[in-house]
Amino acid sequence: MERVSKMVTEKPVVIFSKTGCCMSYSIKSFFSDLGVNTAVYELDEMQRAGREIEAVLSNLGCNPTVPVVFIGGQMVGGESEVMSLHLQGALKPKLKKAGALWV
């Protein structure tokens, strides 16, 4: 848990992903299109550490465990939660508050 806590505070937006996951690809593309510079951790490329992180994410209630987005060190959730925030008009203010978006 300590490792994940440190990782999610290194950048304003952190995405835990897997290279072959289409939802992970979509969420990474979405943030890129918004102009947000994210830290992306590809769990399937991290071997044992990736499995350990995935277990921590699962214990935090993430189901599925990828993609998972953290903004400002706080877990937002997966693609549906991010899109829900976006449609409600709450995502951009959250990104601005975290220092991930300037406009």
pLDDT at site 55: 92
pTM over 0.75: yes
Instruction: Say if residue 1's pLDDT is above 80.
Output: no
Give per-residue pLDDT as tens, 55-85: 999 888 888 889 999 999 999 999 999 999 9
Give per-residue pLDDT as tens, 10-63: 999 999 999 999 999 999 999 999 999 999 999 999 989 999 999 999 888 888
Concatenating the DSSP letter of every residue in 17-75 gives: E-TT-HHHHHHHHHHHHHT---EEEEGGGSHHHHHHHHHHHHHTT-SS-SSEEEETTEE
Residue 10's Cβ-count burial label (10 Å; 0-12, 13-18, 19+) is: exposed
Instruction: Say if residue 3's pLDDT is above 80.
Output: yes
Radius of gyration in angstroms for the set of CA atoms belonging to the chain, rounded to a whole number: 13
Q: Which of 10, 13, 6, 22 lies closest to 67 in space, CA to CA?
A: 22
Q: How many CB atoms lie within 10 A of CB 26?
A: 14
pLDDT at site 61: 86
Instruction: Say if residue 102's pLDDT is above 90.
Output: no
pLDDT at site 42: 97
Distance CA 30, CA 57 (A): 21
Residues 51, 16 contacting (CB under 8 angstroms): no
